Structure 1
């Protein structure tokens, strides 16, 4: 089984979870030669950035050369781009490990996600797409300051700002029309790693953690939990949104109630915690690519296990750079 992981960046441990699978070749491709996880696979390619000429052609070249069976991306904008080219990869017999395009849009477009959740009775963070609608809600007492403003289709907390007053909000939104306004929540935050079978559409693995420390939009410390309310919210979204593959969800607790705030159709930065506690998403992916339907687990893992990240240096010798690191090319 040959797998291509695009934009692995710093996710060394996640790539290693794939490398450990039997009879599996893991190919990594990134736009930066300083992406440490690029060198964690069995083969390594440099490719253009997703907004540069030749990107798609380079990915297709790798798929053909390495006889790729399944393709995974670890960054949000790339997932959206790839989902729009699903027919091309189908023609190459390459399975995209991600939900359908419509489900992806409901994850990445925060306004669409809010509207989808409200329509389907899923508790979610109060969100406003225009200043006028926010001001109406503010006058009714439905929302108060402080609030967050963020890009409609942003990721990794890029562009997120905390706003304290209406005057500040009005001034900030004069400069752009692509931001939305969300309630500011101060309660505990929880992360869910789930795997939805690519064939059956059934949730077959589920892992939950309470976040204690977040750095660079990723969980650095936390501990395992089980919570029926959080599980119900996550299940409702995953099934009703027709999700597939690995999913990473964020849920806030505010005044004793839980609200879905983010849904990412990919491996989250905290997935290695789930793997260390006994889940194995890469094995589930390989099974699906071989035509096997995975059976649901009992989601059994111990509560209150402390979760902590540590960092290790990655050294790449000149010999590796000269002999092993390939540059994907394309025919103009």
Structure 2
């Protein structure tokens, strides 16, 4: 079995998890839009692709999959999820399965305004959110919310251009600043869907933050919810966390699984304020918090490999030891081998 991980970035650990899951009965191919990506070093084969926004991206991947007998693609970046979910059938026709949720799930997760409305519609607590600064100011004046308020991109990722406004003057400045940042970064790609409404203002929730890995099988059937208590964050990713047991958050995870019907992992950020859980964001992919589940005994990559083979997967692969504290470290990797360029 050959698996291609796209937009792998710095997720070298995921490459190694999948290599361990295959047990040398296949190869892990790693793709990224630049060769200067640490995950590329870990793959059995690595390839530089066109940019996701390039019209050549899908044809390039299809050709690569055909030439290298790729059985499955697993995208690891939000924009990649959006593109590949729309092209699943094309790849199925050449014998390659894309491990990604349907496009509606991806749209809900990538679009934070859709996320807010979807969560409210389905009975989940979530921070009060506005699509215009005027609506946010009106809510403040009506005492519906109070400063500080969070200003961030509607289609955002990696904590790019997230600001905390303490008053109306700062809100106006940060609103303009976020708009400029969107236009000058890769956030512009998805934001073109509604460039006039590509910023949101959100109520700040103060409480303990948790990360959930809500795991479904490849048909969208619920398997489990792994809960991590977050102790430290860096650039939007969990830097230190502990696996914990929390029946209330497990129920939230199971309910989200039921309404979303996602494929594989749903990475969810939750704040608990005064005992009430507030769902903040969802990512329909392996999130930066997954390795903390993995070191506690969960093995989703191995489960995915077995599902792809049509095998039954036991619950033991989803049992996390409680009380495992994990840390992310910095390391320097040298590489003399050049990665193959795009065709």
The structure-2 alpha-carbon separation of the partners of 1:184 and 1:295, relative to structure 1 and needing over 3 Å to count, comes to: same
Q: CA deviation at 1:172?
A: 4.0
Q: Distance in 2 between matches of 1:161 and 1:70?
A: 38
| Structure 1 residue 62 corresponds to structure 2 residue 76 | no
Are the aligned partners of 1:191 and 1:251 in contact in 2 as well (CA < 8 Å)? yes
Are the aligned partners of 1:190 and 1:211 in contact in 2 as well (CA < 8 Å)? yes
Partner residue, 1:77? 79
Partner residue, 2:6? 6
Q: What SS does the corresponding residue of 2:70 show, helix, strand or coil?
A: coil
Bigger shift: residues 163-172 or 59-68: 163-172
The correspondence for 1:261, drawn from 277, 280, 285, is 280
Equivalences for residues 77-226 of structure 1 within 5 A: 77-173=79-175, 176=179, 177-199=197-219, 201-226=220-245
Partner residue, 1:327? 341
The structure-2 alpha-carbon separation of the partners of 1:205 and 1:154, relative to structure 1 and needing over 3 Å to count, comes to: same
Q: What SS does the corresponding residue of 2:201 show, helix, strand or coil?
A: strand
Moved over 6 A (4+): none
Bigger relative contact order, structure 1 or 2 (CA pairs below 8 A, ≥6 apart): 1
Partner residue, 2:296? 277
Q: So what's the TM-score if we normalise by structure 1? A: 0.91
Q: CA deviation at 1:171?
A: 4.4
Q: CA deviation at 1:24?
A: 3.0
Q: What SS does the corresponding residue of 1:20 show, helix, strand or coil?
A: helix
How many residue pairs get aligned? The number is 323
Bigger shift: residues 171-180 or 266-275: 171-180
The structure-2 alpha-carbon separation of the partners of 1:255 and 1:166, relative to structure 1 and needing over 3 Å to count, comes to: farther
Partner residue, 2:188? none
Gaps of 5+ in 1: none
Q: Distance in 1 between matches of 2:328 and 2:175?
A: 37
Are the aligned partners of 2:214 and 2:254 in contact in 1 as well (CA < 8 Å)? no
Gaps of 5+ in 2: 180-196
Are the aligned partners of 1:122 and 1:236 in contact in 2 as well (CA < 8 Å)? no
The structure-2 alpha-carbon separation of the partners of 1:136 and 1:235, relative to structure 1 and needing over 3 Å to count, comes to: farther
Are the aligned partners of 2:265 and 2:285 in contact in 1 as well (CA < 8 Å)? yes
The structure-2 alpha-carbon separation of the partners of 1:293 and 1:197, relative to structure 1 and needing over 3 Å to count, comes to: farther
